[in-house]
A and B are shown apart, each in its own frame.
Chain A
Amino acid sequence: MRPEHRERARIEAATRVVDRAVASLKPPEEVQLEALVNDTLYHERRRLERERGDDARVADDHAFYSKVQKRLRHASARDLRELLDQIALRFASEIVGNFDDRVYKLSTTVVPTGLSVLLTAMSPKKLGSLGSLRHGLSDHVQIQGSVEHVKKLLDQGTLVVVPTHSSHLDSIVLGYAVHLLGLPPLLYGAGLNLFNNPVTSFFMNNLGAYRVDRKKTAALYKDVLKEFATVALELDYNNLFFPGGTRSRSGAVETKLKRGLLGTAVRAYVGNLKSRRDKPNLYVVPCTISYKLGLEADTLIDDHLKEVGKNRYIIEDDEFSRPRQVLNFMSNLVSLDSRVVITFSRPLDIVGNYVDEEGRSLDPRGRVVDAASYVCTNGEPRYDHQRDEEYTNELASGIAREFLRDNVAMSTHVVGHALLSLLRRENPNMDLYRLLRTGGKSPNFTFTEVCRETEAVVSALRNAARGPRLSPELEKDAGSIVDDAVRAFGSYHARPAAVRRGDRVFHEDRNLLLYYGNRLRGYDLTNSSAGGRAA
């Protein structure tokens, strides 16, 4: 982001949010204004209580909010507005972070090198063997789908790329893909913990990331964050949001998407039309990132099982914060055992219609529709909060549909699903969690049984009406698919999901089987002999 844009985005985001809040106040305004400041103060105080006291940033926040508290006691209406401005600006400043334009530009070329640096920094001994990393990555990070379509749209408007999210590697891998495709870098919000992580801070600071502190729960903070993204889109910065919010804990493709950041697309579009921007269109590009092996699979599925139905905690200590683990994974990525497939889906407009290569919206019958007509009344663009929320819901449904369609099923997912189905069938009266813990009646299945089940799953996937795509290894015979998956499990996980010994396949880590099998959730697998249930 150019320095002048950075400053503009910072001021604009804070000012718009405060203006909107003030405009919506009902009498007595002063009391409501005070409540707004107090609410933010309360959430920030609570957060600070849980933060480490020796952190300079935390100390600075403490000092700031103490001053706010002191002024609040005798604040006039004017003082209250000023305090709100100050807090919003403080949030906006943190979000904008410290972009360095030179580094930002450079980042389009440093990603592959950066990955080498990342690996080298972690293990100098490995330097020699990673000389071919760049080559290796291009072999194992496969990019497919509507690539040319997306490139053409760059000339027609601004892109919002919305990928599935299952690993902290996603943004790095996607950054690499963007570089390979020759697309301009994407602006995206990354968790503050990634800026603090020595492994990732390099990428976060240099790949157009702005800071998102998920521990900040004040409504004002979230509003400033959304408004910053809106302004960035209006300034023609292509954005990246992970619409699932955090990484998918269960391993499943996200179908319930967060509307917050996604809603910025409609707002920015209306803003563009109102300011009569030359190319006002916004294009939403769903994107699935499919891994054969999940770097953080163990931690994520544990969290999923612990927290099903409850609030999840923010995982700060996972595989991604352990350099050796990342190294293992990356080495694995360039070996034959792992693959990442990035699929760009057909781009959508702000209400979920497909768009053609000229950037025109299409109705379900392929007729051209003027996208502006959705947000106009008598030809004039206008904001309508309730309408725009519903448009965002429509968009979210469209994205979820594309996720399922373009998700790539791989051997690990199919065999994970097949083994779990066999376990369930063998233990019909055992609830899932007990089954995962105990393993049920027998510790293994015959290779033939597993192959038969695998074949049934692949066949059901092939017949599924709405996706997924099948990875090339699934074209092979069932025996090869099972062997391929078992080899992959064994090449990375300390305790593999399953191992083959002689003519038998042992289910070792059933949680991992669930994690991988869940990737096929959302497809009609009732035709497979085991059915499609998953947790």
Chain B
Amino acid sequence: MSQDECVGVIGAGNWGTTLAKVLGDNGRSTLLWARREDLCREINETRQNSQYLPGFQLPPSVEATPDLARICKSASLLIAVVPSHTMRETARELGNYLTGEHVVVHATKGIEQGTFRRMSEVLREETCLRKIGVISGPNLAKELAARHPTGTLVASRYDEVFVRAHHVLHNDYFRVYQGRDVIGAEIGGGFKNIIALAAGVAAGLGLGDNTKALLLTRGLSEMARFGVAMGADVMTFGGMAGMGDLIATCSSPLSRNHQVGARLARGEKLDDIQRDMRMVAEGVKMAKAAHDYATKKKLDLPIVGAVYRLLYEHHEVALLLKELMSIPAGPEFAALAV
């Protein structure tokens, strides 16, 4: 773990470019992978990623490259930030160049559709990696890029993963906390997108802060129920990757998921919204994955069910809201009792 250690960032989207900027701000030599050569050229020549992180200058120590082999050779610490639906393909390609010495922290929110695999599981299934971690927290890319103070969680079963990620990422505007519950961190980071989408719907309907607080609190409860069923530690959901991320995502109109929800509430069609946005709203995919899993495992997740029916069965927003509000209310923590 030398001071001049090179770090690789796999994925030059909004979040990947932001993390590369944090690394660059910390003086780290950083190789940022983008599949598209024109994007690499733009980053290297203008120090900007105008498509995914417009308005921010990347530090000189960040270099973009489409060469995965070079990145894996130069850096033994990688941060993987690709959309959940391309993680398997990217991991398989990455696997050609990885060794057991590599450490990979992924920052991808969401679960693989159809298989219910978490991203760390996908990485494990496609590569020789053992030292895998996840980074998750209240991290809206634009705010972090603007150096607004925030924190995050790096969860891994391997201490080395945290130590190394902390070493290169932690600074005076980005606090990096340690966790061991990889499942909880991954579930929290993915699940919150569903609630953010619902919060967007509430905002789009012009509902106030009481409604939002109700949604967040019961959403957190559903997140914990879902996570515990998948093997997570319930405590994780009270931390950075649970409540922290949920508050940030649901409070901010910057969030893609929030925007999708608000536009749906205003009567726009999902296909049209997605076509406009360019970037992927993970909540759309996550709602389906979570709904399918909950159905299979007989979990009671009413907010997830409502979001699913809104997105995939085109139910009326007003009707769904009425349905949610008519569910009998009993002891607040009954569903979490073991």
Could you list which residues of chain A lie within 8 angstroms of chain B, going by C-beta atoms? 351, 353, 361, 363-365, 367, 369-377, 384, 386-387, 390-391, 393-394
Contacts and interface: CB of A to CB of B under 8 A. Distances in A.
B89 to A, nearest CB: 12
B159 A386 contact: yes
A335 B274 CA distance: 71
Contacts of A391: 130
A374 B102 CA distance: 8
Contact of B160 (A351, A371, A387, A394): A387
Given A351-B130, A353-B128, A364-B125, A387 B99 contact: no
A364 B129 CA distance: 10
Nearest to A372: B100
Contact of A367 (B95, B101, B157, B159): B95
B100 A351 contact: yes
A270 to B, nearest CB: 13
A363 B158 CA distance: 19
Given A351-B130, A364-B126, A370 B100 contact: yes
B101 A365 contact: no
B101 A373 contact: yes
Given A353-B128, A374-B101, A367 B96 contact: yes
A369 B100 contact: yes
A185 B158 CA distance: 36
Given A370-B99, A374-B100, A377-B101, A363 B127 contact: yes
B101 A394 contact: no
22 contacts: A351-B100, A363-B127, A364-B128, A365-B92, A365-B127, A367-B95, A370-B99, A372-B100, A373-B99, A373-B100, A373-B101, A374-B100, A376-B100, A377-B101, A386-B158, A386-B160, A387-B131, A387-B158, A387-B159, A390-B158, A393-B157, A394-B130
Contacts of A375: 100
B8 to A, nearest CB: 16
Closest 8 CB pairs of A and B: A374-B100, A363-B128, A373-B100, A373-B99, A369-B128, A373-B101, A386-B159, A390-B157
A369 B124 CA distance: 14
Contacts of A361: 128
A314 B162 CA distance: 41
A78 to B, nearest CB: 35
B126 A365 contact: yes
Contacts of A384: 160
B130 A374 contact: yes
B330 to A, nearest CB: 26
A116 to B, nearest CB: 47
A281 to B, nearest CB: 13
Nearest to A352: B130
A373 B103 CA distance: 11
B43 to A, nearest CB: 29
A413 B238 CA distance: 45
B130 A390 contact: yes
Contacts of A353: 128
Nearest to A374: B100
A424 B126 CA distance: 42
Interface string B154-165: 000111100000
Contacts of B101: 373-374, 376-377
A390 B132 CA distance: 11
Contacts of A367: 95-96, 128
Given A370-B100, A371-B100, A363 B95 contact: yes
Nearest to B125: A364
Nearest to A365: B95
Interface in B312-335: none
B108 to A, nearest CB: 19
A185 to B, nearest CB: 32
Most chain A beta-carbon neighbours within 10 Å: one of B96, B127, B128, B131: B128
Nearest to A351: B130
A96 B180 CA distance: 39
Contacts of A393: 157
A372 B124 CA distance: 18
Contacts of B96: 367
Contacts of A377: 101
A387 B101 CA distance: 12
Interface string B42-69: 0000000000000000000000000000
A369 B158 contact: no
Nearest to B131: A387
Contacts of A376: 100-101
A375 B131 CA distance: 11
B167 to A, nearest CB: 14
A353 B129 CA distance: 10
A333 to B, nearest CB: 42
A292 B124 CA distance: 37
B127 to A, nearest CB: 6
Contacts of B100: 351, 369-376
Contacts of B99: 369-370, 373
A365 B92 CA distance: 8
A152 B125 CA distance: 27
Nearest to B102: A373
Contacts of B131: 387
A386 B156 CA distance: 12
Given A386-B160, A387-B160, 13 more contacts: A351-B100, A363-B127, A364-B127, A365-B95, A367-B95, A367-B128, A371-B100, A374-B100, A374-B101, A374-B130, A375-B100, A386-B159, A387-B159
B153 to A, nearest CB: 18
Interface string B126-160: 11101100000000000000000000000001111
Most chain A beta-carbon neighbours within 10 Å: one of B96, B100, B125, B130: B100
A390 B100 CA distance: 13
A397 to B, nearest CB: 11
Most chain B beta-carbon neighbours within 10 Å: one of A374, A376, A386: A374
Contacts of B158: 386-387, 390
Contacts of B128: 353, 361, 363-364, 367, 369
A209 to B, nearest CB: 33
Interface string B98-127: 011100000000000000000000001111
A524 B25 CA distance: 51
Nearest to B99: A373
Contacts of B159: 386-387
A367 B92 CA distance: 11
Contacts of B125: 364
Contacts of A374: 100-101, 130
Most chain B beta-carbon neighbours within 10 Å: one of A363, A370, A386, A391: A363
A406 to B, nearest CB: 21
Interface in B232-291: none
B124 to A, nearest CB: 8
Contacts of B126: 364-365
A391 B100 CA distance: 11
A460 B10 CA distance: 43
Contacts of B92: 365
B157 to A, nearest CB: 5
Nearest to B92: A365
A353 B99 CA distance: 13
Contacts of A372: 100
A63 B127 CA distance: 57
Nearest to A379: B101
Contacts of B124: 364
Contacts of B157: 390, 393
